[in-house]
Amino acid sequence: MVKMCGKIYIIGIGPGSSEYLTKKAVDTVKASDYTVGSTRAIELFDDVQNTIAFNVKELVDTLKKGVQLAYDGNTVSILSTGDPGFSGVLNTVLRLSGEIGFPKESIEVIPGISSLQLAAARCHIQWDNANVMTFHGRENIEEILPVINNGKTTIALPSRKVKDMAQFLLDNGVEPTRKVVVCERLSYPDERIVEATLNDIATSEFTYMCIMVIY
Q: What is the pTM of this model?
A: 0.89
3-state class (DSSP) for residue 164: helix
DSSP 186: T
> What is the rounded distance in angstroms from the CA atom of residue 170 to the CA atom of residue 58?
35
Position 5 scores a pLDDT of: 87
User: Are 175 and 211 contacting, i.e. CB atoms less than 8 angstroms apart?
Assistant: no
Burial profile 8-25: b = 16 or more Cβ within 10 angstroms, e = fewer:
bbbbbbbbbbeebbbeeb
Calpha distance 212→131 (Å, rounded): 11
- CATH of region 7-110, choose from 3.40.50.700, 3.10.450.50, 3.40.1010.10, 3.40.430.10: 3.40.1010.10
Count of residues making up the chain:
215
CATH class entry, domain 115-214: alpha beta
H-state helical runs in the chain: 23-31, 39-42, 59-71, 90-100, 115-122, 162-171, 198-201
**pLDDT tens, residue order, the chain (215 aa):** 446 789 999 999 999 999 999 999 999 999 999 999 999 999 999 989 899 998 878 899 999 999 999 999 999 999 999 999 998 999 999 999 999 999 999 999 999 999 999 999 999 999 999 999 998 877 788 999 999 999 999 999 998 799 999 999 999 999 999 999 999 999 999 999 999 999 999 999 999 899 999 99
Domain boundaries, the chain: 7-110, 115-214
